[in-house]
């Protein structure tokens, strides 16, 4: 009789409302208030007083207000945004606090244990800290513990040391005593190829040379090639201390101005490096390249080689382009370069027909002074010699992918599956808007993806290619064979940089097992995940350091009326992002510099246009000139305005 009682129903609703909890992530706004984002479609307002209990990025449970259903009060911490972090020391009245280096956070967090450290911190010094108290968990204010000192306040090397500390990455080469290290007895029958005219082509400063090339012409006109790769696994026992350390690092970390090697420099820059006129052990691949560019008679074997010359990209490119004064010192070296250039043309033509080519973009090199300041940023275009080596390495990795698949059925493969399956319909809609009709089934296949990419590459601009990139899946590594849509290849397994990549060391061991006829187990998924995560962290660290250095370098151009030529790469109603073509920096142009009345701006992402009053103001891929008007070093943000 009470089930339909209106008073009871009303009471139940009231009780339900009073216990209405939601879980989400805190998003702080600059004016002190915030929002709790429950999902992409729902968020709740957090009053500035309540924001004092939480931090941007915290995952919390909050209770919905009885009076205002769109407002919440934080109640329980699920996962803090900050745990281990880097920040700057702030001292006032003998009290020490730390300010996290994160542009979403403006909190000054008191430090509990400053007296326990054997260092006298000064204002602005950089340190590593960890959160030890949180208002929602400990019923008090935020508190942190200083874990370690990083670098002094005005040290010009702060961009490197702070960033590496942020991601818990190494600063130096592995510290392992290699005195008396000798080659392992691997029972490999190494072919003696020391008399062949192998050469290396690298940057002038390269010391860890890991690939040498040799080519000869066969009577039928085909080209016979041997790719010789440095062999660190001939010195490093699997499961040894050095091997474990290499697996932890995963990669040589290439940063602006210097690198942090995966292996001790004694190995990477000396014993294993394919130095000229030095006898070195290698893992080699021989392959015949037909006049049509097909690869036949692939064979892997261990060998000894002696490189006959260390050549430099720009010198070789100048000579092949008939410019400059450099020329080969030996007729045999000249012959090798001409054969390598011919092989490049053949394979490049094959990839253009049967696979996909890269879009050439310049590499930007930071010239760093002795005190860590950026002297200059140089745009280096990839020239003929770069393409020769690149084509040779792609060829070698295709061969490895083929042999590992056929002989073992596993290895470390580079995988890219094209468009994300969840985004296929959006891809079709964007293409249809530009008059290109495709179906989901075809563009989900390797052949269909290649056909579409070639069609997009023939467009007047790269807008559509760039627009569709956001719908593509991420490249990854796998222990099973799979296609690489980005390269347009059925499988791709790298083994050509074992000095610099632990995954390539693994493939070396797998290929050696094939050569010896030994059984070997498939690399486990835990190792794949660890390598992938380290690769991601290295890339983030490199970008963070670059952003910091760009901000420092371009700060001297503020209001200097120095004109930079840029390309528009992103548009929105809030403004545009542009890439400075001279140095690769990304700058932001606020809407106020584009059109006086922001409400009149219309952004069309599908067409890549920004219009006002029916007039197209800017398109993605437009080339425009700008001035630098502001640089925020704390946030690493560069602000520009168009030259009117």
Pair 89, 125: CB distance under 8 Å: yes
The separation between CA 340 and the C-alpha centre of its own chain, rounded to angstroms, equals 30
The separation between CA 142 and the C-alpha centre of its own chain, rounded to angstroms, equals 34
The Cα–Cα gap between 138 and 152 comes to: 32
The two three-digit tokens of residue 243, written as one number: 């091997």
Name the 3-class secondary structure at 493.
coil
Report the length, in residues, of the chain.
Answer: 644
Residue 243: in which H helix or E strand, if any?
helix 241-249
Q: Which residues contact 525 (CB under 8 A, 6 or more apart)?
A: 479
The Cα–Cα gap between 468 and 476 comes to: 19
CA angle (619 as vertex; 613, 623 as ends), nearest 5: 125
Residue 49: in which H helix or E strand, if any?
helix 48-51
Residue 14: in which H helix or E strand, if any?
helix 6-18
The Cα–Cα gap between 40 and 38 comes to: 7
Name the 3-class secondary structure at 153.
coil
- Per the annotation, the verdict on 231 as an active-site residue is no
End-to-end CA distance of the chain: 79
Q: Residue 231: phi, psi to the nearest 5? A: -125, 75
Sheet containing 34-39: order of strands: 42-46, 34-39, 21-28, 59-64, 72-79
User: Which of 35, 44, 313, 344 is the catalytic position?
Assistant: 313
**What does the buried/exposed string (b/e) look like for 312-344 if buried means 16 or more CB atoms within 10 Å of the residue's CB?**
bbbbbbbbbeeeeeeebeeeebeebbebbbbbb
- Per the annotation, the verdict on 138 as an active-site residue is no
The separation between CA 239 and the C-alpha centre of its own chain, rounded to angstroms, equals 28
- Per the annotation, the verdict on 211 as an active-site residue is yes
User: Which of 58, 210, 318, 504 is the catalytic position?
Assistant: 210
User: Which of 125, 197, 211, 318 is the catalytic position?
Assistant: 211
- Per the annotation, the verdict on 210 as an active-site residue is yes
Under DSSP, the state recorded for 89 is E
Contacts 24+ apart (CB under 8 A), 102-109: 102/56, 103/634, 103/635, 103/637, 104/28, 104/56, 104/57, 105/28, 105/55, 105/56, 107/55, 107/142, 109/142, 109/143, 109/144
- Per the annotation, the verdict on 125 as an active-site residue is no
The Cα–Cα gap between 91 and 106 comes to: 16
The Cα–Cα gap between 336 and 432 comes to: 49
User: Which of 28, 88, 347, 500 is the catalytic position?
Assistant: 500
Pair 242, 261: CB distance under 8 Å: no
Pairing of strands 310-312, 601-604: unpaired
Pair 75, 63: CB distance under 8 Å: yes
User: Which of 202, 231, 269, 622 is the catalytic position?
Assistant: 202
Sheet containing 191-192: order of strands: 191-192, 295-306, 279-289, 223-230, 211-217
Residue 453: in which H helix or E strand, if any?
helix 446-457
Q: Residue 50: phi, psi to the nearest 5? A: -75, -25
Pair 464, 434: CB distance under 8 Å: yes
- Per the annotation, the verdict on 313 as an active-site residue is yes
How far is CA 354 from each of CA 289, 347, 348, rounded to the nearest angstrom?
15, 10, 10
Residues acting as catalytic residues: 202, 208, 210-211, 313, 500
């Amino acid at each position: 009789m009470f089930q339909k009682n209106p008073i009871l129903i009303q009471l139940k609703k009231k009780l339900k409302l009073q216990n209405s909890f939601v879980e989400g992530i805190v998003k702080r706004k600059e004016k002190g208030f915030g929002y709790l984002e429950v999902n992409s479609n729902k968020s709740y307002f957090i009053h500035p007083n309540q924001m004092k209990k939480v931090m941007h990025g915290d995952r919390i449970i909050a209770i919905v207000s009885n009076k205002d259903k769109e407002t919440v009060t934080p109640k329980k911490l699920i996962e803090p945004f900050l745990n281990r972090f880097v920040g700057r020391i702030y001292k006032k009245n003998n009290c020490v606090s730390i300010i996290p280096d994160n542009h979403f956070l403006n909190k000054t967090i008191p430090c509990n244990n400053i007296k326990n450290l054997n260092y006298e911190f000064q204002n602005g010094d950089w340190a590593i800290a960890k959160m030890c108290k949180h208002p929602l968990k400990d019923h008090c204010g935020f508190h942190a513990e200083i874990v370690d000192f990083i670098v002094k306040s005005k040290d010009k090397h702060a961009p490197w040391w702070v960033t590496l500390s942020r991601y818990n990455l190494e600063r130096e080469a592995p510290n392992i005593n290699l005195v008396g290290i000798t080659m392992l007895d691997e029972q490999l029958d190494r072919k003696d190829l020391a008399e062949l005219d192998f050469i290396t082509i690298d940057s002038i400063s390269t010391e860890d040379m890991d690939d040498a090339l040799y080519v000869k012409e066969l009577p039928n006109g085909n080209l016979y090639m041997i790719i010789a790769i440095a062999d660190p696994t001939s010195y490093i026992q699997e499961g040894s201390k050095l091997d474990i350390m290499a697996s932890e690092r995963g990669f040589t970390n290439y940063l602006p101005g210097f690198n942090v090697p995966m292996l001790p420099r004694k190995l990477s820059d000396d014993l294993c490096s394919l130095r000229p006129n030095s006898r070195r052990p290698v893992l080699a691949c021989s392959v015949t390249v037909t006049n049509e560019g097909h690869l036949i008679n692939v064979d892997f074997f261990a060998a000894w080689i002696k490189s006959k010359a260390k050549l430099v990209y720009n010198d070789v490119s100048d000579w092949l382009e008939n410019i400059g004064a450099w020329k080969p010192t030996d007729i045999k070296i000249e012959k090798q370069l001409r054969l390598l250039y011919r092989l490049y043309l053949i394979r490049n033509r094959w990839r253009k027909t049967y696979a996909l080519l890269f879009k050439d973009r310049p590499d930007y090199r930071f010239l760093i002074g002795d005190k860590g300041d950026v002297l200059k940023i140089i745009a280096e275009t990839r020239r003929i010699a770069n393409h020769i080596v690149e084509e040779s390495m792609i060829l070698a990795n295709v061969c490895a992918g083929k042999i590992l698949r056929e002989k073992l059925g596993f290895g470390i493969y580079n995988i890219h599956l094209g468009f994300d399956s969840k985004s296929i319909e959006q891809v079709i809609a964007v293409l249809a808007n530009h008059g290109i009709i495709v179906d989901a089934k075809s563009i989900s296949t390797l052949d269909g993806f290649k056909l579409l990419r070639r069609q997009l590459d023939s467009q007047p601009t790269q807008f559509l290619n760039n627009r569709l990139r956001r719908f593509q899946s991420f490249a990854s590594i796998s222990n099973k064979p799979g296609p690489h849509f980005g390269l347009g290849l059925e499988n791709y397994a790298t083994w050509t940089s074992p000095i610099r990549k632990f995954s390539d060391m693994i493939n070396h061991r797998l290929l050696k097992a094939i050569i010896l006829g030994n059984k070997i187990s498939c690399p486990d998924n835990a190792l794949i995940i660890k390598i992938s995560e380290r690769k991601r962290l290295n890339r983030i660290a490199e970008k963070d350091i670059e952003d910091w250095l760009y901000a420092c370098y371009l700060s001297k151009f503020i209001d200097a009326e120095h004109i930079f030529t840029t390309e528009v790469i992103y548009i929105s109603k809030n403004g545009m992002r542009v890439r400075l073509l001279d140095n690769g920096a990304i700058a932001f142009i606020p809407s106020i510099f584009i059109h006086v009345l922001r409400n009149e701006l219309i952004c069309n992402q599908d067409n890549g246009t920004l219009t006002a009053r029916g007039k197209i103001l800017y398109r993605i891929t437009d080339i425009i000139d700008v001035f630098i008007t502001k640089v925020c070093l704390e946030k690493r943000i560069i602000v520009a305005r168009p030259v009117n």
